[in-house]
Structure 1
Amino acid sequence: MSAAENPALWAFLEQLRAGQRLAGTVASIESFGVFVALDEGPDHPVFPGVGFITFPELSWRRFEEASEVVEVGQRVYCEFLQFDTWNGEARLSLRATRPDPILRFFDGTAVGQRLTGQVTKVLPFGVFVQVAEGIEGLVRLPGLSSDPTKPAEDVVRVGEEITVVVTDIDRERHRLSLSLRATT
């Protein structure tokens, strides 16, 4: 029996509204997301829970495994995002119930400000620098060296601590642009 053929489930999901807070218990952690058995919801005829949280909606911080954020049997309070009519489930967000750390960081940061951080990744187009707990910014190649053809790995190394200057803060896209050149 599919979710679409379950009138109690369908009626429950249709009455939910975006932004509504829901409570439940983590029923299963899968390689594609987390199922939540909702307190107020009926059982799902196919999945271990009526609620589902995709990995990006689990946490503001980066993680490798969902088990770093939640565990089976844990009580969670989530925000309802949308009714997934294909799977007959409530798409949920755990991170929406917590303050966004990058926006709080941006509130205390200004363009032109110097920051010290650790290089976390060196890529062909630039480097990522962690400037606060869970907050990374990007130094693009032109901001690394006066020689734009010089590979990033010839300028800095992963783990190296460097001083950078904030060149742009994009609150909407959650992006922090940095420059190493502006510090010299």
Structure 2
Amino acid sequence: MVTGTVAEVHTFGIFVHIDGEPEGLRTGFIRVPDLTWSRIDHPSDAVEAGQRITAEVSVAETRSGQVAVSLKALQEDPLIRFADQVDRVDRVAIGSITKIIPLGVFVQLAPDVEGRLHLSELTDEPVEDPAQLVGEGELITVTVAEVDLRHHRVRLCAADGAGSHAAPPEAPERRTSARTSGQASAFDPFRAPGHEPKHEGGHHRAHGWPPSSPRRPAS
């Protein structure tokens, strides 16, 4: 673990002046994916020049002479906490649509946790662009189908049976290679009350219904 000062902020990463190195050098470097668990548009959303930081060394020395360090390595992985909450409470959640892509949408389920909902879960009708159905910032009810800790992603399905794969599994699938044990801290993701299955009643009319009028009794 090292401490230092952010020297330069670029679109491709952050240069850090590590404490103890000669003035003017900035051998520390943080890649954009190693800055934070949060979704950011630019590294300046996470840090700024002159900011003091504490980071974990990823690679002691690269070919360019840089020391690769990570801020994210010292932060709690929010997906682990979310996975524990899903296991204990409810798989149905209400989240805000954060991004629309050609094959679906990303939904924020909790702070720094997003899941992907495929286009087929939004509708059974042919649609060229999900933006024809939903918009960014819109709230949507979904079911957590899978929490993949190894690849750090969440797969969602429709909670109301709108899509062709809308039927939720008995329990969310959980994939992980290795994880530390310990009790997760309190967490309160967006959750919706359980949805009861809908039953549609109705009667089929047979041929000849209604029956003919009853015969009038003979006088």
Cα-to-partner distance string for 1:62-86 (whole Å, 9 max, x where unaligned): 1223222222222111100113432
More strand by share: 1
Residue 48 of structure 2 is matched in structure 1 by 71
Residue 61 (structure 1) aligned to one of 38, 41, 44: 38
The answer as to 2:140 corresponding to 1:162 is yes
State the TM-score, normalizing by the size of structure 2.
0.66
The answer as to 2:122 corresponding to 1:134 is no
Which runs of structure 2 are paired with 1:16-95 in the superposition (5 Å)?
21-42=1-22, 48-95=25-72
Distance 1:129 1:27 in 2: 34
Higher-RCO chain (CA-CA 8 Å, sequence separation at least 6): 1
Q: RMSD of aligned C-alpha atoms?
A: 2.2
1:31 Cα offset (Å): 2.8
1:27 Cα offset (Å): 1.6
- Structure 1 stretches (4+) deviating beyond 6 angstroms? none
Where structure 1 has 5 or more consecutive residues not aligned to the other structure, the ranges are 1-20
Residue 115 (structure 1) aligned to one of 93, 107, 114: 93
1:101 Cα offset (Å): 1.4
Q: In the alignment, is the contact (CA less than 8 A) between 1:38 and 1:49 conserved in 2?
A: yes
Q: In the alignment, is the contact (CA less than 8 A) between 1:42 and 1:50 conserved in 2?
A: no
Where structure 2 has 5 or more consecutive residues not aligned to the other structure, the ranges are 167-194, 198-219
1:43 Cα offset (Å): 5.5
Partner SS state of residue 99, structure 2: strand
Q: Could you say if the C-alpha distance between residues 142 and 62 of structure 1 is closer, same or farther in structure 2, counting changes exceeding 3 Å? A: same
Percent identity, aligned pairs only? 38
State the TM-score, normalizing by the size of structure 1.
0.77
Distance 2:100 2:7 in 1: 38
Distance 2:59 2:23 in 1: 18
Cα-to-partner distance string for 1:118-175 (whole Å, 9 max, x where unaligned): 112222211111111222111112222233x234233322222111011111011111
Partner SS state of residue 86, structure 1: coil
